[in-house]
């Protein structure tokens, strides 16, 4: 399989997301890439995403292992490309409303996300990181993306790695270190509705990550529900933001809440062609409001994986929290249009490792290296067979 890697549109501590295209067909998709030695999370994401087929979940397009500069082996997760960007971007672009969406648009978005969650939960999966930055905007409706922290509820959590998340969107039980379930996604949905309806993140008065984790987990409080929202919206949020997870409404129950009655299928105004041109070029991911540097750690997420712990073990607690949620640096989100095909220097042709093998070496060292590579590739193939993926 040959494809062309375009500009990078997002970058985390262990993976990067690029726009890509198949040269023959011109088909455009997104590629999330990680070095093979650091691809554990990406492989888990692939295993889950490949089993999902829902209009409100980003579409899995394939998997490819490539040999790139310096002989690096890179794992690539191919996914649907949504040129309109994320829900957080769309809300930030609503400049006339102070960076927030009107309630008709909020209803439309909430219903689409809940449809996706109802489907995902029905297949035993908790997303574990619902927020505006992980919801892609399309004309057909919002789509849940980034399953890098997703877990199978009732599965072997230890085998699936440590739990991460985004502090400002974490449910209280997750902030306390408990296993997240479906109800944790519902709490995060409530926080996302606050985010897009107000133009500010939940817990907007929290000043540092440690305070956020402690307050969410142990204070007994819930995010403030603004009084300017409609009574139906406030009641809807109250059902999402109950601190006891057993008392929160499920995705299916919330879909029947009066707040979501009479929501049309037609895309709201913020998805119109005129509105799309207003989506700003910003660092990705970004908060709905341009906040102080502290929000880069409060609003971003990464799993707390031993391989990512590069700082000394005695670093201050604030730095440990920042390590938990990740520190992102990225190029700008592309505007809602097709990639610029004229800038060829930003596109690199990529071929799968099977098609891009280097010329063989000779001698005992070469044989040893070849055997080691073959064993490594066989282990990966065995793992892929066990996952039931092609």
Q: What residues are annotated to the active site?
A: 129
The answer to whether the CB of 57 falls within 8 A of the CB of 117 is: no
Answer yes or no: is 32 a known binding residue.
Answer: yes
How far, in Å, CA of 160 to CA of 176, rounded?
A: 19
The region that residue 146 occupies, defined by phi over 0 for left and psi between -120 and 50 for alpha, beta otherwise, is left
- What are the φ and ψ backbone dihedral angles of 381, each rounded to 5 degrees? -65, -40
Q: List the end-to-end C-alpha distance of the chain, in Å, as a whole number.
A: 13
Helix (H, G, I), strand (E, B) or coil at 364: helix
CB contact set of 108 (below 8 Å; sequence gap of 6+): 141, 263, 264, 267, 268
How far, in Å, CA of 385 to CA of 342, rounded?
A: 40
User: Pairing between strand 72-79 and 28-35?
Assistant: antiparallel
Closest CA to 137 of 279, 257, 27, 242: 279
Helix (H, G, I), strand (E, B) or coil at 121: helix
- E strand or H helix at 5, and its extent? strand 2-11
Residue 139, both tokens: 């004309």
CB contact set of 184 (below 8 Å; sequence gap of 6+): 126, 128, 170, 171, 173, 174, 245
Residue 216, both tokens: 């969410």
CA–CA distance from 272 to each of 92, 137, 141, 185, 259 (Å)? 15, 12, 13, 29, 23
**Binding-site residues:** 32
**Binding-site residues for ATP:** 32
């Amino acid at each position: 399989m040959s494809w062309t890697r375009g500009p990078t549109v997002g970058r985390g501590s262990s993976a990067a997301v690029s726009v890509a295209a198949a040269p023959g067909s011109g088909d455009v998709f997104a590629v999330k890439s990680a070095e093979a030695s650091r691809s554990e999370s990406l492989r888990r994401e692939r295993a889950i995403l490949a089993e999902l087929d829902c209009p409100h979940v980003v579409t899995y397009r394939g998997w490819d292992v490539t040999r790139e500069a310096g002989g690096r082996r890179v794992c690539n997760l191919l996914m649907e490309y949504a040129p309109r960007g994320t829900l957080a971007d769309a809300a930030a672009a609503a400049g006339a409303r102070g960076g927030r969406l009107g309630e008709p648009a909020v209803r439309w978005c909430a219903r689409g996300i809940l449809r996706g969650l109802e489907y995902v939960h029905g297949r035993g999966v908790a997303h574990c990181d619902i927020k505006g930055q992980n919801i892609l905007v399309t004309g057909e409706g919002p789509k849940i993306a980034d399953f890098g922290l997703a877990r199978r509820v009732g599965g072997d959590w230890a085998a699936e790695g440590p739990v991460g998340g985004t502090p400002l969107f974490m449910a209280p039980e997750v902030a306390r270190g408990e296993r997240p379930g479906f109800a944790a996604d519902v709490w995060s949905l409530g926080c996302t509705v606050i985010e897009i309806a107000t133009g500010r993140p939940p817990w907007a008065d929290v000043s540092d990550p440690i305070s956020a984790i402690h307050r969410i987990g142990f204070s007994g409080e819930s995010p403030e529900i603004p009084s300017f929202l409609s009574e139906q919206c406030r009641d809807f949020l109250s059902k999402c933001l109950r601190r006891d997870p057993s008392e929160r409404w499920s995705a299916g129950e919330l879909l029947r809440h009066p707040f979501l009655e009479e929501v049309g299928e037609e895309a709201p105004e913020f998805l119109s062609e005129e509105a799309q041109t207003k989506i700003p070029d910003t660092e990705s991911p970004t908060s709905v409001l341009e906040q102080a540097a502290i929000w880069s750690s409060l609003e971003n997420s990464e799993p707390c994986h031993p391989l990512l712990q590069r700082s000394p073990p005695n670093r201050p607690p604030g730095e440990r929290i920042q390590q938990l949620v990740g520190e992102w640096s990225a190029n700008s989100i592309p505007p809602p249009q097709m990639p610029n095909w004229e800038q060829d220097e930003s596109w690199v042709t990529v071929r799968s490792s099977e098609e891009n093998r280097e010329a063989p070496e000779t001698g005992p060292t070469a044989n040893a290296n070849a055997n080691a590579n073959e064993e490594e590739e066989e282990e990966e193939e065995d793992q892929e067979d066990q996952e039931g993926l092609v």
